[in-house]
Homo-oligomer: A and B are copies of this chain.
Amino acid sequence: MKTLGIGLVGSGFMGRSHAYAFRAADAVFDLPVRPSLEVLADIDDNTAAKAAPSLGFARSTGDWKALIADPAVDLVDITAPNALHKPIALAAIEAGKPVYCEKPLAPNAAEAGQMVDAAERNGVMTAVGFNYLKNPMVALAREIVDSGEIGEIISFRGIHAEDYMADPSAPHTWRLEPAGGHGVVADLGSHIISIARHIAGPITSVVGQIATVVAERPVRPGASETRPVEVDDQARALIRFDNGATGSIEASWVSPGRKMTLAFEITGTKGTIFVDHERMSELQLYTSTGQAAGRQGFKTILAGPEHSVYGAFCPAPGHQLGFNDIKTIEARALMLALADGPPFQPDFREAWEIQRVVDAIVLSARESRWLTVTDI
């Protein structure tokens, strides 16, 4: 069987998650290609060498350029800090190697656009890790919408709220660097935007509202010295879709008690869908037609073998997939695409489209006015 040599840049949480996903995909699915974990790169030789065995990599390096140059590396997988996404991706593209990059692609749409241009000019396959799109319940939502079961979409309400920055004593971090892009609207908001676009199509205009609730944070854990926070930790927008539907987007990382509220409600003319990733193996469905009088209600559909690739994980319904399983499904989709299967989505172009919406929300909020997304 053909193998796919993986070169992974970054051995932090997402790096570990990617390494896991490739190995798990190999164990769960019958794929036409097998992943081979060839090279792990990190900030220096030592760090990389230390992490390589536990992540399952054969070799390691402190130089990501060497990783790209390595002939055994067929896919360059980027989970490095955000600021490195662009240079590494461009170098890989230059070398003609497919790129799998964690989100966000870049700190803003302009830079993401340069990455798209490079990839398309070089005809290089690209993939971006908006993993929740691979949740079978998101796939089911898309399938229900596409089939017309809930009629025409008239509204989309999406939110991604967590609370990992809710504590004002949580220190300043790289996430809060304005040079790295926007705040929660980029970090979490991009996920819900990716779902909105995936299911309801292009977003054409927005009016945004952003807030920085915690205005300064300790420079280090426990430090009395503080540093101002210059990015948003709450964001909202009203949105219009190309198909005429309207809706809203919300993102917050200062929402006490919300641990993984990546939730959306899609209203159609004939029905409604609701999904919340705190119960990510469930989808709530209401249809106006086909229910007898006195027997109408939202149905709770539990993920099972009828939904996407769930059956490869477990033959019985209701047994649930977890966060890492979703990443495993992403790795599968990527390996299939690299083995001449269906193209992987979202690619760099789609990630750029998502980033345009992010940028539009922030700019719109700053200027207190509606903006057309294609003007970004």
A228 on the B face (CB < 8 A): no
Distance in Å from the Cβ of A7 to the closest Cβ of chain B?
17
User: Is B155 a contact of A252 with CB atoms below 8 Å?
Assistant: yes
Q: Does A201 contact B (CB under 8 A)?
A: no
Binds B, one of A81-89, A172-180, A216-224, A255-263: A255-263
Q: Contact between A250 and B252 (Cβ–Cβ < 8 Å)?
A: no
Stretch at the interface among A68-76, A118-126, A207-215, A340-348: A207-215
A3 at the interface (CB under 8 A from B): no
**Contacts A209-B238, A238-B236, A297-B302; A256 near B248 (Cβ below 8 A):** no
Q: How many residues of A contact B (CB 8 A)?
A: 94
Q: Pick 15 A–B contacts, CB within 8 A, sort by A.
A: A19-B27, A20-B28, A23-B23, A24-B27, A207-B209, A259-B302, A278-B318, A281-B320, A294-B306, A294-B307, A298-B299, A314-B322, A319-B322, A320-B321, A320-B323
The answer to whether A213 and B269 have CB atoms under 8 Å apart is yes
Question: CB distance A166 to B259 under 8 Å?
Answer: no
Pick from A167, A277, A299, A304 the residue with the most CB of B within 10 Å. Answer: A299
Tell me the complex Cα distance, A325–B316, Å: 15
Q: Assess whether A252 is in contact with B234, with CB atoms less than 8 Å apart.
A: no
A162, A302, A321, A370: most-surrounded residue (chain B CB, <10 A): A302
Q: Give the contacting residue for A316; candidates B209, B250, B259, B307; CB below 8 A.
A: B259
Give the docked Cα–Cα distance between A53 and B33 (Å). Answer: 12
In the complex, identify which listed stretch (A41-49, A103-111, A189-197, A285-293) lies at the interface while the others stay far away: A285-293
CA gap between A315 and B324 in the complex, in Å: 12
Q: What is the distance, in angstroms, from A217's C-beta to the closest C-beta of chain B? A: 13
Interface residues of A (CB under 8 A from B): 1, 13, 16-17, 19-20, 23-24, 26-28, 30, 53-56, 140, 150, 154-155, 157, 159, 162-164, 166-168, 207, 209, 211, 213, 234, 236-238, 240, 246-248, 250, 252, 254-260, 267-272, 277-281, 285-288, 291, 293-302, 304, 306-307, 313-325, 368-370
A256 pairs with B150, CB closer than 8 A: yes
Are A302 and B278 in contact (CB-based, < 8 A)? Answer: yes
Given the known interface contacts A54-B30, A323-B319, the answer about A246 and B209 at a Cβ–Cβ threshold of 8 Å is yes
- CB of A314 within 8 A of CB of B324, answer yes
Beyond known contacts A297-B299, A319-B323, A322-B325: 6 more, CB 8 A cutoff = A157-B250, A166-B288, A209-B246, A277-B320, A280-B320, A300-B300
Q: Would B24 and A24 count as touching, CB distance under 8 A? A: yes
Task: Tell me which residues across on chain B come within 8 A of A207, comparing CB atoms.
Answer: 207, 209, 238, 368, 370
